Amino acid sequence: MIDEPQTPHRLVFVTGPSGAGRSTASNALEDLGFEAIDNIPLSLVPRLLDGAPLNRPTALAIDARNRDFTTTAMIELIERLTRAPEVELVLLYLDCDTDALMRRYAETRRRHPLAPGETPEEGIGREIDLLQPVRARADVVIDTTGMSPHDLRAEIERWFEPGAEGRMAISVQSFSYKRGLPRGLDMVFDCRFLRNPHWEESLRALDGRDPRVARYVANDRFFERFYVQVRDLVEFILPAQVEEGKAHLAIGFGCTGGRHRSVVLAEKLARSLADSGWRVSKRHKELDRAARRPRGGFTGDHT
């Protein structure tokens, strides 16, 4: 009798610098049906998986404060589990810029775990440097800089909703070049050559989700050809990415201020891909930043 192949166990590593929202993400995964285990030593992970088959997916929060944590050990464990046919591993890295992490520590007046006798800034820099090789291996990078806990929970739900395994997830983002290129993007398209609604007084205060702004940008003589070629390129490579085994693809559109042209294109492409049956999430970084409450963030959540 031939044994039926075993369904791989779905495993998510949740990591990132302290203060980026690791606890919020773990709680969100637990609400989605994952068994969430916080701060497990790396040496115990293989023993956890060597036992009887687990009947639900598992989320493991990996903390750089662990007594046996080293970057080398983390990378070796990722390599081992990636090669294991009985495990489907996703490495989720929660990123955040230094200024936002500093604000979160200032709000809670907590000491940084890697610099208990120094300033939080020193600990933040030390931890970010330590985790850089891990971040480079991440399957999903979520930048929580402008997010509230509610925003992060919604983003986790989009990436890890039940039944999503086996389906590639696509993230479409808009951003401002004035703030630099966002981290974690696989494909980037510069749309600063399109005419800018900022210079139209009646449109300046609006954003690219408004139909008036969308019509203005779409009336640029280069818009339709540019959009169609981008859409066709993305649709052409998506099946190949799936065949290659890629689970997540992040696409970014950038313009000067990140509020008009890039938003129009991100909205249009996300809608087209969703209509074609792809699993799509979208985020407008500058609009999220503007909508953030003055004290919004991960107050009290530094793991």
Give the model confidence (pLDDT) of 170-190 as tens digits. Answer: 889 999 999 888 877 889 999
Tokens of 215: 């019509």
51 C-beta neighbours (distance < 10 Å), count: 7
CA angle at 16 for the pair 105 and 67, rounded to the nearest 5°: 90
Output the pLDDT for position 196.
97
Phi and psi at residue 106, to the nearest 5° = -65, -35
CB-based contact 129:70 (threshold 8 Å): no
Strands 35-38, 58-61: pairing is parallel
- The fold of the 9-167 domain, in CATH, is Rossmann fold (3.40.50)
Can you give the pTM of this predicted structure? 0.62
pLDDT, average across residues 190-194: 97
Q: What span, in angstroms and rounded, lies between the C-alpha atoms of 301 and 303?
A: 6
Q: What span, in angstroms and rounded, lies between the C-alpha atoms of 52 and 48?
A: 9
Q: Where are the domains of the chain?
A: 9-167, 171-277
Q: What span, in angstroms and rounded, lies between the C-alpha atoms of 159 and 140?
A: 9
Instruction: Render pLDDT for 223-251 as a digit per residue (tens, 0 to 9).
Output: 999 999 999 999 999 999 888 777 778 89
Distances (CA, A) of 263 to 211, 252, 283: 12, 10, 9
Instruction: Render pLDDT for 22-61 as a digit per residue (tens, 0 to 9).
Output: 899 999 999 989 999 988 888 888 888 776 666 788 999 9
**Cβ density class 236-270: b for 16+ within 10 Å, e for less:** eebeebeeeeebbbbbbbbbebbbbbbbbbbbbbb
Alpha helices per DSSP H over the chain? 22-31, 45-50, 71-83, 98-108, 120-136, 149-160, 211-218, 223-244, 261-275, 285-291
Q: What span, in angstroms and rounded, lies between the C-alpha atoms of 170 and 278?
A: 7
Answer yes or no: is pLDDT of 70 > 80: yes
Output the pLDDT for position 299.
38
Instruction: Render pLDDT for 268-301 as a digit per residue (tens, 0 to 9).
Output: 999 999 899 888 888 888 887 776 544 444 433 3
Proportion of the chain above pLDDT 90, given as a percent = 35
